[in-house]
Amino acid sequence: AASMREPGDVVVAVHTSRQGVAYYGPGLGLALGEDLFLADSLEDLDSIVAEAGPGGAILLTSMPRALRILRPDMQARIEGGWTSSRTFAATIGDGQISVWTPRGR
């Protein structure tokens, strides 16, 4: 995600990806609260995206089944505004990490 960013973009770790991204993000040059944000609800996601301004938000998701079951509103918003650009394989179940870029980019 860090390499896919354009100037002004922020990275948002969504739902089950939050802990891993918060841990590994600083090592990739992402600062929590500056260009890396964590969203566990639709309200969180909408607020972060609104604050992102003219840049945009790149989203990171993991465990799509859990997202679909536990946060269907977030999944619907993500699928409506972003495109899954890249997915990294997982070593457990559906724990892969997907990178979502704003639709139309």
Q: What are phi and psi of 9, to 5 degrees?
A: -70, 145
pLDDT of residue 68: 93
Q: Which residues of the chain are under the pLDDT cut of 70?
A: 1-3, 54-55
Give the amino acid at 94. Answer: D
| Three-class DSSP category at 90 | coil
Show the DSSP H helices in the chain as ranges. Answer: 18-24, 42-52, 64-70, 72-81
Cα first-last separation, the chain: 14
Cα–Cα dist 25/1, whole Å:
10
pLDDT of residue 72: 96
Cα–Cα dist 101/105, whole Å:
7
